[in-house]
Amino acid sequence: MMPVDNQSWGGRFTEAPKDAVAAYTQSQSFDRALAGQDIRASKAHARMLGETGILTPEESRAILDGLDHVLAEIQGGGFIWKQDLEDVHMNIEARLTELIGAAGKKLHTGRSRNDQVGLTFRLYVADHLVDWQNRVIELCNVLHRRATRHTQDILPGCTHLQPAQPVSLAHHLLAYAWMFRRDWLRMEDALKRVRVSPLGAAALAGATYPLNPQSVAREVGFAEIYENSLDAVSDRDFVLESLFCASTLMTHLSRLCEEIVLWANPAFGFVKLPDSYATGSSIMPQKKNPDVAELMRGKTGRVYGALTAMLTVMKGLPLAYNRDMQEDKEAFFDADATVRPSLHIMAGMMDELVFCTEKMSEACAAGFLNATELADYLVGKNIPFRDAHHTTGQAVRLAESRGKRLEELSLQELQTLEPRISEDVYTALDYATAVNRRETPGGTGPRAVASQLAHLNDWIYAHRTVKKHKRPLRP
């Protein structure tokens, strides 16, 4: 039998894989998305091989120029991808060798696809985390802008989805901004562990050449290298963590979506969806459906799916590299394909959402949202809180039985419950007063909210300018 010579590993094989097997094991159809990162990593490796004298300066130079040429072909759409070359790495190397001859075959000196794919994918994941971070900042910026105008508008704050106490709309919106800031910080922290170069670990045990892994790391912009070659080629924590960041972010987006769905229901009527973020019904002409928010809530599951898939892939793997790990690409791609547009669309939707502030304040009046104020008022009259709470409960019962709000009860009615109540109770029962008095740090009072706004603004400003690109959002 003839040796199988169209495979980089074909030397010891006498039969090519069956077509179905080749199609099953290949990854070039999707991991070609990593071409830019693979070439960045290969150039760093080639430069290091030249610097350390493992290759001659001419060989190193030829490889660097050849890789630039391959990248241009890929970007120009002229590159011919071959399934029998399995993955992005072997496709690029084969084309390099076609272009520059023998030197191309030396690129892989001291390297294995195992450490190669590790570095390539780390570069890819890092690039995407930074992109997510920038989109998170854009969303926070929109929330900040909208919040600024609504520090005086109030709506029912809920617990158990039951009206509890009035809060300002600004305060409610800012609650989401802080969730998203934590997502940003989580990504920032994950990036520390993503940006660790495994190149030099080779297949699993390290290499016999005088490699300089630090110089490769430095060249690709990573601060650190691996400590253990076995760990280096089999660690996919960086994918897991990134997918966890994505999952938590989607949880936050989904909660905001749920809020929008509820608020758009005429029973609440707190928001009107912009036409461009809603759809109609094919049968019920009156309908304006919050499909965008629903879909985003629904797509959250896909991202959890990617995280769950990768946790499952990793849990049974012995050291070191195992082919199972090739599954990390599509899981991450799918999560990214959800996270990226979700952030962009949420920013746009929050920018254009119409707040019906009158409906919001009417809802405060309907739900005894000033009951705590009455209790606090009684405490101010030197009545112990537990007794004040009980008396207030009686007041709510009395108001309910007469079809009134608390502030509609007459002074005489209130005094039947507690004689120490006087005329000033009506100021305390005012809903705006309830918000304005809550000035504890992080509270809904206007001064406390103003300091939230300032703090958030400082953070947005610092990170919008520090991050390397402020490129326009693409969908």
d(CA 48, CA 56): 11
> CB of residue 9 vs ligand ARG: minimum separation in angstroms?
8
C-beta closer to ligand ARG: residue 42 or 151: 42
> CB of residue 62 vs ligand ARG: minimum separation in angstroms?
25
C-beta closer to ligand ARG: residue 7 or 214: 7
> CB of residue 467 vs ligand ARG: minimum separation in angstroms?
29
C-beta closer to ligand ARG: residue 31 or 336: 31
Q: How far is CA 76 from CA 70, 71, 73, 372, in A?
A: 10, 8, 5, 66
Q: For 442, left (φ over 0), alpha (ψ -120 to 50), or beta?
A: left
Torsion of CA 159, 163, 165, 168, to 10 degrees: 100
> CB of residue 236 vs ligand ARG: minimum separation in angstroms?
10
> CB of residue 21 vs ligand ARG: minimum separation in angstroms?
14
C-beta closer to ligand ARG: residue 323 or 468: 323
> CB of residue 118 vs ligand ARG: minimum separation in angstroms?
9
The bridge status of strand 162-168 relative to strand 154-159 is antiparallel
Q: How far is CA 305 from CA 39, 116, 257, 342, in A?
A: 30, 27, 19, 16
- Known catalytic residue at 160: yes
d(CA 309, CA 218): 32
Other Cβ atoms less than 10 A from the Cβ of 274: the count is 14
Extract the tokens encoding 409. Answer: 């009860």
C-beta closer to ligand ARG: residue 156 or 198: 198
Other Cβ atoms less than 10 A from the Cβ of 351: the count is 16
> CB of residue 187 vs ligand ARG: minimum separation in angstroms?
23
Other Cβ atoms less than 10 A from the Cβ of 356: the count is 17
- Known catalytic residue at 276: no
Question: By C-alpha distance, which of 336, 335, 323, 331 is closest to 26?
Answer: 323
Extract the tokens encoding 443. Answer: 């509270």
Other Cβ atoms less than 10 A from the Cβ of 247: the count is 19
Residues interacting with ligand ARG, by CB under 6 A?
A: 27, 31, 87, 113-114, 117, 321, 323, 325-326
- How many angstroms from the chain centroid is the CA of residue 317? 27
C-beta closer to ligand ARG: residue 60 or 234: 234
> CB of residue 115 vs ligand ARG: minimum separation in angstroms?
9
Angle at 256 between CA 242 and CA 274, to 5 degrees: 120
C-beta closer to ligand ARG: residue 117 or 383: 117
C-beta closer to ligand ARG: residue 7 or 212: 7
Of the residues 160, 282, 401, 469, only one is catalytic, namely 160
Of the residues 29, 281, 410, 422, only one is catalytic, namely 281
> CB of residue 12 vs ligand ARG: minimum separation in angstroms?
14
C-beta closer to ligand ARG: residue 321 or 355: 321
Other Cβ atoms less than 10 A from the Cβ of 150: the count is 20
Query: Could you list the active site residues?
Result: 160, 281
